[in-house]
Amino acid sequence: MPIVGTNARLAQDQALEAADSDADMVEWRADWLAEQARISHGQRMSRLAETERIVALAAILKILVAPKPLIFTWRTAGEGGHGSALADGGYEAVTEAVIRAHAASMVDIEVCHSAASRLIDAAHDYKVPVVGSWHDLSGTPPESVIVERLETIEGAGVDVVKLAVMAQRDDDVTALMNATAERSHETEVPLVTVAMGEMGLVSRVLGHIFGSQATFASIAGESAPGQPTLAELRRLWALAE
């Protein structure tokens, strides 16, 4: 379940909602807060101050959602994040600071980012598990390419592989699910795959049948296109039984 509050109070309120829900894990999308901070404070807030603020809030949210694990995620604009390229200038420093402070149970690291290798090494040095992610908002590549991307993410040395594509037709969802099923027989780490957009809902509901180990559902607001609410997801699962 994602936390997508644009200020500390909203983020904490959503964390409490998540704690009271039957979700298994919680993800804090820090890019929502970082972008709002940039808009509100302009250049008056230094990178150091912003980093300290986000790390402190991450630690609070981790406590509020406990014993559910908290995943720290700063999704960059290029991969569908809520912020801007300007705000993303803090991505590397903030992610590393969260790792060093153990302010989250896991960290999401975009494997295509220039700092990915260094951040993954830092996370492992500090015994913080890594979700290695790759988000393609341009569409859905062929099945064989999806398999290759899943292999590439795992090859970066991450603990969980996450791949999201944008579905534009039914064939896109089929390609993602088939690729997930194929790779799930070879991988040595958990896979999480998602087809975003309205067409991709079935991947969020039935992905586990094909080997995807987790899915995302919201309470206070979706963090990606086509994300169902937790109540909707539970209802669809019940209908599928």
| Average pLDDT over every residue of 215-219 | 89
pLDDT of residue 196: 92
Let me know whether 141 and 241 are in one domain.
yes
CB 57 within 8 A of CB 34: no
pLDDT average, residue stretch 157-166 = 97
Same domain, 100 and 136: no
Q: What is the residue range of 21's domain?
A: 1-128
CB-based contacts of 229: which residues, under 8 Å, 6+ apart?
Answer: 217, 218, 219
Three-state DSSP string of 45-83: CCHHHHHHHHHHHHHHHHHHHCCCCEEEECCCHHHCCCC
Report how many domains make up the chain.
Answer: 2
55 and 161 part of one domain: no
Q: Which residues are catalytic?
A: 135, 162
pLDDT of residue 18: 94
86 and 103 in a single domain? The answer is yes
Last residue of a domain, one of 82, 97, 128: 128
Domain identity same for 232 and 143: yes
Question: Do 108 and 183 sit in the same domain of this protein?
Answer: no
Pair 73, 136 in one domain: no
Q: Is the pTM of this model over 0.85?
A: yes
CATH assignment of the domain containing 65? 3.20.20.70
- If asked whether residues 223 and 119 sit together in one domain, one would say no
Band of pLDDT at residue 52, cut at 50, 70 and 90: very high
- For 197-206, the pLDDT digits (tens) are 888 899 999 9
* pLDDT given at position 206: 93
Put the strands of the sheet holding 70-73 in their side by side order.
2-3, 26-29, 70-73, 106-110, 130-136, 160-166, 191-196
9 and 124 within one domain: yes
